[in-house]
A and B are shown apart, each in its own frame.
Chain A
Amino acid sequence: MERIYETSDLEAWDEKIRVKVEEFGLTCYDQEFELCDHTQMLGAMAYHGMPAHYPHWSYGKAFERQSTLYNHGAAGLPYEMVINASPSLAYLMSKNSLCLQILTIAHVYAHNDFFRNNATFKFTQADNVIPAFKARADRVRDYMEDPSIGMSKVEPVLDAAHALSMQCSRNPAIRKLSQDEQKQRALAAAQPPADEYSKIHKRPDYIEPDLSKVPLEPDEDILLFIRDHQPRLSDWERDLLTIVHQEAQYFIPQMETKIMNEGWATFWHREIMNSLDLPQDIYLEFLVRHNQVVQPIAGDINPYHVGLKVWDDIKRRYDEPTDDEIARDGKPVMTGNEAMFALRETDRDSSFLRRFLTEDLCGELGLFEFQSQDGALVVTETPDEGEWKTIRETLLRSVGTASMPVIKVEDADYDQNGTLLLAHEHDGRNLHPGYAEHSLAHVHRLWGRPVALKTESAGETQVWCYDDNGFRDAS
């Protein structure tokens, strides 16, 4: 039977959950819960949960898409939506059952703890997130309402900026060198290597480094590079580029830790629910819901499923290692709990999976590699056949930002005619040519001069150009 509950009931359960949260050692930001209906939830999802966000048609599209899926029953709504901010903000669906609310609240606290403690989120300035989004939204609206700018000019710039927003440095912990430091480095690299036998060796020719080149070292932040090096942009255009860049920077940590974060939250909601001494009907419903959440999705990766399994395995490995593991890795130096808390601070999906996705886990999770061959999806590797490392490597390349190509600004004055040269760091995966063509059009719109992209396809270097006459394959 469906239980009827009030907000006060939720508050009472929340009290109990928070006691457990502290007991387990999770350290969270303050938390705000907002109860909403499904339209509000869809709205929140379209804007990534942000209470204030600048307008752009793509969010309208996201809304339509979600609501179509939802109305056709193809996709349910997430039980919760939580944003990385201090205080953290989470949306709860008001129509959910009491059990789901309790489950969700527990889940949210674990996310909150992850946001606060994981190193990847260090640079997101959590206590300023909501005001910062609001301020950016206001700026964009101002430009749209400004009669000398207007919607018709703002939209194409946003379109173009969105196309490039993920072409930025993916790890803010890696400091970008300043202009001077880059110069020093170039000079140092030009020095001949130290040679003990310089007396008898021919002195190598000194090749003077070209310090006038812009950029000295390939630059990953394409939007910022264009902002700083395209003299014809107006201030408001530069500001729009900054805004889009900053938003992308804010969301990258969440992409980078999707599996870890969901696994962590699922692990702790399970622990909390099991320790809560729930009434039987709620407990039974919880078991059903939990199993739904962590069910593997055939033909896809369910981050809740993979994440939880890996966390569980880490805990087991430190608490009850098998003899083989002790023989291989030595006796564990900390408890499972300590290990988990340490990892949730230091790791991101790529390192987490590289270190802890073992052969056994690969088999247990039923992971396999597949590839499109002549229109059919064909299984290329399975863990049974001993190729689990290949599978892991392939998985690593599809998590977080690794699934997006790395493209850097190579030269701002290519061919001495102001062409912007971009270079794709080819790692065996080819760019989608159609998408590349349209994306180059966006770069061209911002750069205002011809642009060229160097990439590779079937082992051959390709150069794709986009200028006033449109797209051209110049290779």
Chain B
Amino acid sequence: MTTVFRPYSASDALRSDRSAGDRLRHRQKIREALKENIAEIVAEESILTRGSDRIVKVPIRGIKEYRFVYGDGSPRVASSGQGEVKKGQVIGQDEQEGEGTGRGPGGDRPGVDYYETDVTIDELVDLLFEDLQLPDMERKHLREIEVDHGTKRLGYRRSGIRVHLDKKRTLKSKIRRRVATGSAGPVEELPSASLQDPAAGAEKPRFPFHKEDLRYRRRVPDVRPESNAVVICIMDTSGSMDVMKKYLARSFFFLLYQFVRTRYQTTELVFVAHHTQAREVDEEEFFSKGESGGTMISSGYRKALEIIQDRYHPSLWNIYAFHCSDGENFSSDNTEACNAAQDLCDVCNLFGYGEIKSEAEYFGATSMRKVFERLKADNFHAVVIDDREDVWPSLKAVLSKERVDPQKEGTG
């Protein structure tokens, strides 16, 4: 029998990260898993309008390696350690998680691996929009405005006002001029001589500043193109919108907001709640307060138009309006609603209408989608949202309809 010792070598250790490739692939798989139920994850959190750097903890079920295993019901053996156990004693809780798999002693039973991943909302949104083929959309021209940010420095010039005088550069150019004229001795003697002995300095010929030496900092107006967007969330808060419907609406608004936010420097949110009358409300009220009564959709649209007129002029703002309703409108209001929707389409980049219906209600109920079929606008899109899984596909469908402002497109 012989024995060999191979000593530790730090440089080998650095080079030998052999599992790197497999770890990468594993992470990719986790990312895929995250992506699969991302709309659900996002919808779970009440993260609408919150800061984008906020970190959310997302539990991801580990990528399982399935094989045939025994279930939980069968007896197992363990050692009691130091303590005593008695028949019938309860020694712990079966860790029931997910599909009801317990983690028993030993590796032969299905354990549940939960990875809790920290992701910022930005990362989530990146994942979300990965399959939207964003590059294609980014080529579209966005409404931009030039915003004056005051002035900024840009180089130097020979004339200007006193406060912009750059003394160092002025002195340098004076020295340069003197050397060029050859009227003085070695440059470095000058200051010391004049310091030690003013009388000696006086003997030399004076070499005063000339107007040519003066250098001024140049300032130019700083104008940057900025893009602003506003997302107008309009929701029907009539009695027929229950908690689940509001929840779906909320998921939808959240995703829309996140999408818009990725493309504009400032994005604002406006909430309009309506039943027969419309009001602008804050976020909390928008989602939490239920109201009762009938529905006049046109009131919400008129309110939105009003807000746009007052605060978000279409020449300065990219407007995304989205309306969630269950489609139960007073039929007398339909024509008016349609006209208002047409007006909204004219000023918005995108106007979407989401009809939230449970399947049972879908047949026989009145639907605004039929009414809106009359609309003549290619930036309008109506979708039906039945449950949570529909939210993401609907949003994708809506976004594909985004229209670019025709006047600006030419100049872009």
**Which of A27-35, A127-135, A189-197 is the contact stretch?**
A27-35
Q: Is the CB of B93 within 8 A of A376?
A: yes
Q: Is the CB of B70 within 8 A of A430?
A: yes
A195 to chain B, nearest CB (A): 43
A57 to chain B, nearest CB (A): 4
Q: Is the CB of A372 within 8 A of B3?
A: no
Count class of interface residues, chain A: 35 or more
Q: A65-B113, A368-B77 are in contact. Are A7 and B7 (CB under 8 A)?
A: yes
In the assembled complex, which residues on chain A have CB atoms less than 8 Å from the CB atom of B153?
Answer: none
Which residue from B5, B23, B75, B113 sits with its C-beta under 8 Å from A370? B75
In the assembled complex, which residues on chain A have CB atoms less than 8 Å from the CB atom of B88?
Answer: 378-379
The reply on B44 being an interface residue by CB < 8 A is no
Q: A18-B1, A379-B87, A381-B87 are in contact. Are A439 and B105 (CB under 8 A)?
A: no
The residue on B at minimum CB distance from A302 is: B79
In the assembled complex, which residues on chain A have CB atoms less than 8 Å from the CB atom of B77?
Answer: 301, 367-370, 391, 394-395, 398
A299 vs B101: C-alpha distance in the bound complex, in angstroms? 18
B397 to chain A, nearest CB (A): 27
The reply on B370 being an interface residue by CB < 8 A is no
Cβ proximity bits B46-77 to A, threshold 8 Å, 1 near / 0 not: 00000000000000001111111111111111
B123 to chain A, nearest CB (A): 19
Q: Is the interface of B mostly helix, strand, loop or mixed?
A: loop
Q: A59-B19, A375-B96, A398-B108 are in contact. Are A405 and B65 (CB under 8 A)?
A: no
In the assembled complex, which residues on chain B have CB atoms less than 8 Å from the CB atom of A63?
Answer: 19, 22-23
A409 to chain B, nearest CB (A): 13
A109 to chain B, nearest CB (A): 9
A269 vs B313: C-alpha distance in the bound complex, in angstroms? 83
The reply on A257 being an interface residue by CB < 8 A is no
Q: Is the CB of A36 within 8 A of B3?
A: no
In the assembled complex, which residues on chain B have CB atoms less than 8 Å from the CB atom of A165?
Answer: 67
In the assembled complex, which residues on chain B have CB atoms less than 8 Å from the CB atom of A306?
Answer: 79
The reply on B332 being an interface residue by CB < 8 A is no
Q: Is the CB of B79 within 8 A of A300?
A: yes
Q: Is the CB of B90 within 8 A of A377?
A: yes
**Which of A39-47, A203-211, A272-280 is the contact stretch?**
A39-47
Q: Is the CB of A369 within 8 A of B19?
A: no
A228 to chain B, nearest CB (A): 21
The reply on B85 being an interface residue by CB < 8 A is yes
A297 vs B91: C-alpha distance in the bound complex, in angstroms? 14
Q: Is the CB of A43 within 8 A of B87?
A: no
A301 vs B76: C-alpha distance in the bound complex, in angstroms? 10
Q: Is the CB of A32 within 8 A of B71?
A: no
The residue on B at minimum CB distance from A58 is: B65
A159 vs B74: C-alpha distance in the bound complex, in angstroms? 27
In the assembled complex, which residues on chain B have CB atoms less than 8 Å from the CB atom of A397?
Answer: 74
In the assembled complex, which residues on chain A have CB atoms less than 8 Å from the CB atom of B65?
Answer: 58, 61, 159, 162-163
A301 vs B104: C-alpha distance in the bound complex, in angstroms? 11
The reply on A385 being an interface residue by CB < 8 A is yes
The reply on B99 being an interface residue by CB < 8 A is yes
A441 to chain B, nearest CB (A): 8
Q: How many A-B residue pairs have CB under 8 A?
A: 254
Q: A55-B21, A65-B113, A405-B68 are in contact. Are A429 and B80 (CB under 8 A)?
A: no
The reply on B378 being an interface residue by CB < 8 A is no
Which residue from B2, B68, B75, B85 sits with its C-beta under 8 Å from A436? B68
Which residue from B3, B74, B96 sits with its C-beta under 8 Å from A430? B74
The reply on A432 being an interface residue by CB < 8 A is yes
The residue on A at minimum CB distance from B107 is: A403
Q: Is the CB of B68 within 8 A of A60?
A: no
Q: Is the CB of B19 within 8 A of A47?
A: yes
In the assembled complex, which residues on chain A have CB atoms less than 8 Å from the CB atom of B354?
Answer: none
Which residue from B4, B72, B94 sits with its C-beta under 8 Å from A33? B4
B1 to chain A, nearest CB (A): 5
In the assembled complex, which residues on chain B have CB atoms less than 8 Å from the CB atom of A35?
Answer: 5-8
Cβ proximity bits B7-47 to A, threshold 8 Å, 1 near / 0 not: 11010010011110111111111000000000000000000
B390 to chain A, nearest CB (A): 22
In the assembled complex, which residues on chain B have CB atoms less than 8 Å from the CB atom of A367?
Answer: 77-80
A40 vs B2: C-alpha distance in the bound complex, in angstroms? 24
The reply on A382 being an interface residue by CB < 8 A is yes
Q: Is the CB of B6 within 8 A of A368?
A: no
In the assembled complex, which residues on chain A have CB atoms less than 8 Å from the CB atom of B91?
Answer: 299, 370, 377-379
The residue on A at minimum CB distance from B64 is: A438
Cβ proximity bits A82-94 to B, threshold 8 Å, 1 near / 0 not: 0000010000001
A276 vs B102: C-alpha distance in the bound complex, in angstroms? 46
The reply on A434 being an interface residue by CB < 8 A is yes
In the assembled complex, which residues on chain B have CB atoms less than 8 Å from the CB atom of A382?
Answer: 85-87
A33 vs B72: C-alpha distance in the bound complex, in angstroms? 41
The reply on A142 being an interface residue by CB < 8 A is no
B271 to chain A, nearest CB (A): 42
Which residue from B2, B10, B17, B19 sits with its C-beta under 8 Å from A30? B2
A43 vs B15: C-alpha distance in the bound complex, in angstroms? 12
The reply on B82 being an interface residue by CB < 8 A is yes
The reply on A10 being an interface residue by CB < 8 A is yes
The residue on A at minimum CB distance from B14 is: A39
In the assembled complex, which residues on chain A have CB atoms less than 8 Å from the CB atom of B28?
Answer: 57
Q: Is the CB of B85 within 8 A of A407?
A: no
A468 to chain B, nearest CB (A): 19
B403 to chain A, nearest CB (A): 38
Q: Is the CB of B69 within 8 A of A404?
A: yes
Q: Is the CB of B79 within 8 A of A431?
A: no
**Which residues, 1 to 43 on A, are CB-close (under 8 Å) to B?**
7, 10-11, 14, 18, 22, 28-37, 39-40, 42-43
Q: Is the CB of B71 within 8 A of A430?
A: yes
A279 to chain B, nearest CB (A): 21
The reply on A100 being an interface residue by CB < 8 A is no
**Subset of 22 A-B contacts with CB under 8 Å:** A31-B2, A32-B4, A35-B6, A61-B26, A162-B67, A164-B67, A299-B78, A299-B92, A300-B105, A368-B85, A369-B77, A370-B91, A371-B74, A371-B76, A377-B93, A394-B77, A398-B76, A403-B106, A404-B108, A429-B70, A430-B70, A434-B101
Known: A36-B8, A63-B19, A439-B68. 12 other contacts (CB 8 A): A31-B2, A60-B19, A60-B21, A61-B62, A166-B68, A366-B79, A367-B77, A382-B85, A394-B75, A398-B108, A407-B68, A439-B67
**Which 5 residue pairs are nearest across A and B when measured between Cβ atoms?**
A298-B81, A60-B22, A438-B66, A60-B26, A366-B80
Spell out B's residues near A (CB within 8 Å). 1-8, 10, 13, 16-19, 21-29, 62-94, 96, 99-102, 105-106, 108, 110, 113
